[in-house]
Structure 1
Amino acid sequence: MDLDTVRTFVAAAEAGQFQEAAADLAVTQQAVSKRVAALERTLGVRLFTRTPRGTKLTIDGQAFLPHARELLRVAERAVASVRAGSRPLRVDVLASRSAGSGLMRGFHRAHPDVDLDVVMLFDVDTAVAAIRSGTIDASFRAVAMPGRPLPEDVESAWVIDEALQLLTGPAHALADARSVPLARLAGHRIWMPGLAPGTEWTAYYDDLVAEFGLTIEATGPNFGSDALLDTVADTPALATFMGDRTRLVWPAGHGLRRVPVTDPVPVYPHSLLWHRDNPHPALATLRAHLAATAAGRRAAGTWVPAWARAGDGRGPVQPS
């Protein structure tokens, strides 16, 4: 059904005259007559009858009018859903408890007027494809992976480093330590069942293992953070890594400890990705917010993989 004919029908019904409807629509009266006639042929009914004072809706016209108005409202909502500045800003944060999620909560507090859609995609390849297709506007990722450069139309900028902490149960040998040097973790079993081959976070931990001789186990199914916390709390021989910006709540009886890792501090680099031609005005607002609130530069005494050192750490995301 041609929406122009529906729009013309509604204008004529509200004006009561084809001539007045034509003036409202900035078309000729002949164009109004042709559009109404086309709609009547599509529907197979008469919508108007002529009167000395103009036009009058038939019974079928009266029945169709509320549906015609709803069609136009639906069409307007459909256009608004993809019009830059009218639709929400769609941002991928990887996980609800991640640093990216925390950064977006801070953005929302600072800019409550910006409509947001927060999504959680799996890996950087999925996020990049969504950025290029326009499904999302931005994504928080660690992106400078070896041998996998970003497409030329996708921009990235470092946002912040997240320090890793060792999460242990109360009976673990390091549970009471105020901090632990990274080299001292060699020989301890670190359990991370969420490491999936080909993902950016697995590439990060592979380099961490290779450089410091750590033992990271990714065995067993990944039942989520609750199951991970239960197992670490009950198993003195196991620990796991947790970002210092990761928000978790566990039962008081678990007695879990978060131990800072030092000398050097392993940090996970978070970057913002976006399409260079994305016109959404709220994207510029987000970039300006991150530039004003995120860490200025990578701190001394920290560690990231060589590929992250090459691509990140030169400064925060810049506003448009």
Structure 2
Amino acid sequence: MDLEAVRTFAAIAQAGQFQKAAADLSLTQQAVSKRVAALERDLGVRLFTRTPRGAELTIDGQAFLPHARELLRAAERAAASVRSARRPLRVDVINSRGAQSGLLRGFHHAHPQTDLDVLMLLDIDTAVTAIRSGTLDASFRAVTAPGRPLPGDIESVRVLDEPLQLLTGPAHALANAKSVTPAQLAGHRIWMPGITPGTEWGAYYDDLAAEFGLTIESTGPNFGSDALLDTIADTPALATFMSEHTRLVWPAGHDLRRIPVTDPVPVYPHSLLWHRDNPHPALAALRTHLTATATAPGHDTPGTWTPPWTSTH
């Protein structure tokens, strides 16, 4: 369908006159009439009835008008998607309360003029596909998950190593500990219903459990962080892992305990991923900001643990 003919049709419907629409579009009235005639031939219907006062939509014209306007909006969205300097920077994070969101908030505070669209995609494969298609500019991920090396056109840089903490209720056996080691957690039930099989964070916790003989359970529906906190507070036999920078608020009666895990400290490695040919000007600013604020010493840092497959670059 000729979008210029559709645009002309919508302009006439708005103006109520061929002559007024021609002036609005900087066209001759003859050109406007030809476009409408061609569109009517393509559709096989009449769109306007000429009257002494101008042009009125036929029943078919009235039916076509909302779809014509949506076609024009879709065309504008399609064009805007590749005008990188004029659209928000689209960045993917794992969740809205985690460290990645904190990194983005820091960037937005330093660059308040930059528009951001924050998305939450399911896994690294989905994120990489979106980056390669141009529908996403960057993603915070742990790279690279076993068996899924990054494509050659995807760049990454490690920007944050985030320590894990143990979260317990007040009646848990470890509730009063000032710190715990991974070895001390063996035999305790660690409940994490948010783990999604096949994701890079799922691979991370699988390796953590295997390395230290931990029991990490992901059974049951994931009703969100509030339900998780309620269950941990009320169930002495359960604890969960929580990243150090995860923002949580709970009722005072829960009396939850955040306990550091040490010797070694399990750290979750956050990297920024982007397409090497992405031209968005704000992407370069984000990368520069994260490089300046990066706190990712790498998996060889004494006293810390990450799976051997996580990238240090």
- Same topology, TM > 0.5: yes
Report the Cα distance in structure 1 between the residues aligned to 2:247 and 2:202, rounded to whole angstroms: 20
Q: Give the equivalent residue in structure 1 for 2:308.
A: 306
- The answer as to 2:163 corresponding to 1:163 is yes
Aligned counterpart, 2:39? 42
Match of 1:290 in 2: 290
Q: Deviations over 1:206-240 (max 9, x none)?
A: 11122212222222222221121111111112111
Which position in structure 2 is the counterpart of 1:261? Answer: 261
Label 1:196 to 1:40 Cα distance change in 2 as closer, same or farther (>3 A).
closer
1:87 is matched with which residue?
87
The TM-score normalised by the length of structure 1 is: 0.78
Equivalent position of 2:200 in the other structure: 200
Q: Does 1:59 align with 2:61?
A: no
Which residue is equivalent to 1:26? none
Aligned to 1:136: 136
Deviation at 1:38, TM superposition (A): 3.2
8 Å CA contact retained: 2:191, 2:239? yes
Return the alpha-carbon distance in structure 2 between the equivalents of residues 228 and 95 of structure 1: 15
Structure 2 residue identity aligned to 1:301? G
Q: How many residues are matched?
A: 293
The letter for the 1-side match of 2:305 is W
Q: 1:254 to 1:296 in 2, by over 3 A?
A: closer
- Cα-to-partner distance string for 1:247-306 (whole Å, 9 max, x where unaligned): 111111000000011111100001111122222222112111111122163354211011
Alignment identity in percent? 66
TM-score, length-scaled by structure 2:
0.80
Distance 1:46 1:219 in 2: 62
Q: Give the 3 Å change call, closer, same or farther, for CA 167–7 of structure 1 in structure 2.
A: closer
Query: Bigger radius of gyration, 1 or 2?
Result: 1
Secondary structure at the aligned position of 1:307 is classed as: coil
Q: Distance in 1 between matches of 2:71 and 2:8?
A: 11
- Local SS of the residue matching 2:273: strand
Q: Which moved more, 1:252-261 or 1:293-302?
A: 293-302
Change (3 A) 1:197 1:13: same
Shift in Å at residue 181 of structure 1?
2.1
C-alpha distance in 2 between matches for 1:251 and 1:93: 26
Which residue pairs with 1:52 in the alignment? none
1:36, CA displacement in angstroms?
4.7
Name the SS of the counterpart of 1:221 in structure 2.
Answer: coil
Relative distance call for 1:14 and 1:255 in structure 2 (3 A) is same
CA 1:60 to 1:260, structure 2 compared with 1: closer, same or farther past 3 Å? same
In the TM superposition, what are the counterparts of 1:195-234 in structure 2 within 5 Å? 195-234=195-234
**Change in CA separation of 1:71 and 1:187 when aligned onto 2, cut-off 3 Å:** closer
Instruction: From the superposition, tell whether residues 238 and 16 of structure 1 become closer, same or farther in structure 2 (CA, over 3 Å).
Output: closer
Q: Alpha carbons of 1:211 and 1:15: their partners in 2 closer, same or farther (altered >3 Å)? A: closer
1:58-137 paired onto structure 2 within 5 Å: 59-60=54-55, 74=73, 76=76, 78-137=78-137
Tell me if the contact between 1:143 and 1:200 (Cα under 8 Å) persists in the aligned partners.
Answer: yes
Unaligned runs of 5+ in 1: 23-28, 49-56, 315-320
Corresponding residue of 2:251: 251
2-structure distance, mates of 1:242, 1:208 = 14
Distance 1:173 1:62 in 2: 75
Structure-2 separation of matches of 1:253 and 1:128: 42
Unpaired segments of 5 or more residues in structure 2?
Answer: 12-17, 41-45
- Name the SS of the counterpart of 1:263 in structure 2: coil
* Contact 1:167/1:241 (<8 A) preserved: yes
Q: C-alpha separation between the residues in 1 aligned to 2:57 and 2:22?
A: 13
Deviations 1:18-64 (A, max 9, x none): xxx57xxxxxx8xx85565333453568999xxxxxxxx97129999
Partner of 2:272: 272
